[in-house]
Amino acid sequence: MDRIDRKLLNLMQRDASRTNLAMAEAVGLSASSCLRRVRRLRNTGVIDRIVAIVNPAKTEVKLKAWVTVELEQHGEQKMQQFLRLAAAEEAVAQAYAVTGHVDVVLLLRLRDMADYDALCDRLFRGRTNVARFFTMMVIRDAKDETAIPL
């Protein structure tokens, strides 16, 4: 990946809806060269996917929560089992196996507290191998960036 690839990726991370011609002009390439580079970045997996970022305030999904999870039983198989369970939940936007005193960190996107309570029943209570979980409701976003600095 060279300097021009990084410029293209930075442009796309800010606004992937801009035209190929606009991106080509911004980085000093011909439209055909720009298109070839973007295709290569997609084909090699550097660009994972192109998505629209929805403003939660304009939807019914207004609550955001971070949840840390400690598992009762450890080991790769138990971790993978819980991560599959979490990933299957629509409200789980992000799921990470982490180091430290907790095993898993989840980012939830929820409509309301009833959604949260129902998710807790399915994911944290009962036979899901969860020893304990701690939830932090987000009250204000200071920064919510999706771009990776290049």
- The CA distance from 18 to 84, in Å, is 36
Q: Grade residue 92 by pLDDT with cuts at 50, 70 and 90.
A: very high
* CATH number of the domain bearing residue 117: 3.30.70.920
Q: Has residue 142 been placed in a domain? A: no
pLDDT tens digits, one per residue of 10-59: 999 999 999 999 999 999 999 999 999 999 999 999 999 999 999 988 99
Is 90 exceeded by the pLDDT of residue 85?
yes
- Tell whether 130 and 60 lie within a shared domain: yes
- Tell whether 61 and 33 lie within a shared domain: no
Q: Has residue 50 been placed in a domain? A: no
CA distances, 100 to each of 28, 71, 88, 97 (Å): 46, 12, 24, 10
Q: Has residue 113 been placed in a domain? A: yes
- Rounded mean pLDDT of 64-72? 97
Q: Has residue 98 been placed in a domain? A: yes
Is 90 exceeded by the pLDDT of residue 127?
no
Q: Grade residue 106 by pLDDT with cuts at 50, 70 and 90.
A: very high
H-assigned helices in 51-134: 76-87, 113-123
Tell me the two tokens of residue 10: 């930075």
Mean pLDDT in the chain? 95
Cβ neighbours of residue 13 closer than 8 Å, sequence gap 6 or more: 146, 147, 148
Q: Has residue 105 been placed in a domain? A: yes
Q: Has residue 91 been placed in a domain? A: yes
Domain that holds residue 23: 3-43
pTM of the model: 0.87
Q: Has residue 38 been placed in a domain? A: yes
Output the DSSP codes for 13-42: HH-TTS-HHHHHHHHT--HHHHHHHHHHHH
* CATH number of the domain bearing residue 38: 1.10.10.10
* Contact indicator for 26, 14 with CB cutoff of 8 Å: no
- Tell whether 35 and 61 lie within a shared domain: no
- Tell whether 68 and 133 lie within a shared domain: yes
Q: Grade residue 128 by pLDDT with cuts at 50, 70 and 90.
A: confident
- Tell whether 33 and 65 lie within a shared domain: no
Rounded percentage of the chain residues whose pLDDT exceeds 70: 100
